[in-house]
Amino acid sequence: MSEVDANLLSALRIDGQQREDDGGGGPPRWLWPVLVGVLLVVLLAGAAWWFFGARPIAVQVATATAPGAVGTAGAVLQATGYVTARRQATVSTQITGTLTHVLIEEGDKVQKGQIIARLEDSGLRATLDVANANVMTAQAQIATAQAQLAQAQADSRRQESLVSSGMATKQFAEQSRTAVATAAAQLDARKRESDSARAQVAAAKVNFDYAIVRAPFSGVVTVKAAQVGEIVSPLSAGGGFTRTGVGTIVDMDSLEVDVDVNEAYIGTVKPDMPAEAVLGAYPDWKIPAHVIAIVPAADRGKATVKVRVALEQKDGRIVPDMGVRVSFFGPKPVPAAAPAKGVLVPATAVVQRDGKSAVFVVDGGRAAQRAVAPAALDFGAMKLVPEGVKAGDRVILSPAPALQDGASVTIEEPH
């Protein structure tokens, strides 16, 4: 290399100090931290958008509910008892006889006066026929006595005429008057016999009617106690071969509840006190009831007093001897106040956004911010929101500060 060339290369060389001063033609050193900071901001913004915007946020929700009416009284006492029928009868016959017809079965509804059984009545029918025949005989005897009296009266008039003309003595007139009196007495006796015969007919008809067993009142047959061919008697004849009843009828409209209340708490029970009955067979069915009376007698063995409770609803599901739990309430509740306007939401669902109260509602998989103005009424852990939220809306519980309107959310099941 020539000396000229070496001088040219030396002139073109840049020393390190000059490179640091002029930057060597690239960006200055102070610019690098700024670029790094901008890059970090962009990365954080992208991550936040991904986390809060594109990625659904797991939230817990609760359903807004309408406030209910207030003012119901609580139970002051509970007792157990059984359903009883105030009108129940085991129907029997009034005479002893053999059943020829039994016209009832368990569960049948019967009306008052309906025929439910018949007895063998041939002997009773014969007695009635004899009584009717005696009445006919007595009436014939009355007709005979009336004819005899008419004849005696005619004879007496003739004798009186003869005596007045002097053709007969007074003795004949007296005898004719005696014959009239005798005939009149015989007619009266025949009439009395006729009355007696008619009375015998009435008695025979009554006995004949006893062969027909009728329902004493309307109700439901709960027991069929006898069959055709069995002997039924109003009195027990012993030996086990004679029935004392045809069946049992219960008036379902007379059902009520008898409960045993501990004598230590009987002072809290008052007549006409409101109550509520729950049958053991239907635990979810609450039947309105009220106290009828407190029976003035105590059971020394159980230390209880019987209380009669009326059921205010009649239903075919209620049958005698069912177990019942009765709740006695205090004074009858006053009409409930009108429910407050708006809905109830958990207090944790109400947050502050830009200095104002707000609630986030899940709508179509996204959080919808609703401005609200909670009422000052005290509902415990709930807040009354008059407007902005309706009953049935799902509100987000304890929304995160970063949760924004329109953010994608997913509902997280509570643990």
Which tens digits make up the pLDDT trace of 104-113? 999 999 999 9
Q: What is the 3-state secondary structure (H, E, C) of 261-300?
A: EECCCHHHCCCCCEEEEEECCCCCCEEEEEEEEEEEEEEC
Query: What is the pLDDT at residue 14?
Result: 47
Nearest to 88 by CA among 222, 212, 210: 222
Query: What is the pLDDT at residue 23?
Result: 47
- Residue-wise pLDDT tens digits, 162-203: 777 767 667 767 777 888 888 888 888 888 988 998 999 999
Query: What is the pLDDT at residue 75?
Result: 67
Query: What is the pLDDT at residue 138?
Result: 87
Q: How many other CB atoms are found less than 10 A from the CB of residue 362?
A: 17
Q: How many other CB atoms are found less than 10 A from the CB of residue 211?
A: 21
Ramachandran angles phi, psi of 110, nearest 5°: -125, 155
Query: What is the pLDDT at residue 72?
Result: 43
Segments of the chain scoring below 70 in pLDDT: 1-34, 36, 38, 41-42, 44-55, 68-75, 166, 168-169, 172, 236-241, 331-340, 377-381, 413-415
Query: What is the pLDDT at residue 9?
Result: 47
Query: What is the pLDDT at residue 326?
Result: 93
Q: What is the greatest pairwise CA distance in the chain?
A: 224
Q: How far apart are CA 256 and CA 318, in angstroms?
A: 10
Q: How many other CB atoms are found less than 10 A from the CB of residue 22?
A: 11
**205: which 2 tokens?**
């008809």
Helix (H), strand (E) at residue 184? helix 170-209
